[in-house]
Amino acid sequence: MRIPFACMLLLLSAAVLAQPNERYKKFINQHINNKMSEKRCDQVIRDRDIKTINNKCKETNTFILSTNKPVKAICGKAGKPFGQMRKSLQPFPIIVCKLKNNVRPPRCQYRGKQYTRYIAIKCENGFPVHYDGDIVHFEN
């Protein structure tokens, strides 16, 4: 069966456009939770199946206490360039969950701590796809 060249280009274009959406969905799952609290790290990380690629407990995971829209806006007017990332113009409340034991999922245990920080994210096609970190203070 032959696929015309134009159809093949269309399929490849669709695959490229779909990729940021999949990465955006993963970003949301791993980093956005407006109802998160310091005491919920273990449960939320387990429920959302957050772990490393090689099925180990993730050392640190940060949740942004926000809805999707304000975080996505950092990729536009609510953020500015920061190397190859975008940094937020406003600080966000975050929960940083740090691993406190050395086991395999689902027995990971975390200690959560809340902060208010500017955040740095990587954007692709206007969507956040990677949480790079939180920053206490940006120099002008």
The pLDDT of residue 2 is above 70: no
Within 13 Å, how many C-alpha atoms sit on residue 111's CB side?
3
Share of the chain above pLDDT 70, in %: 82
The pLDDT of residue 5 is above 90: no
Where are the domains positioned within the chain? Answer: 5-135
User: What is the dotted CATH code of the domain comprising 5-135?
Assistant: 3.10.130.10
pLDDT tens-digit readout, 19-56:
558 999 999 999 999 999 999 999 999 999 999 989 99
Q: What share of the chain is helix, strand, coil (3-state, %, to 5)?
A: 30, 35, 35
- Strand residues in the chain grouped as ranges (E): 60-64, 79-82, 85-88, 92-99, 110-124, 127-135
- Report DSSP state, residue 137: -
The pLDDT of residue 137 is above 70: no
> Which residues have a catalytic role annotated?
31, 130
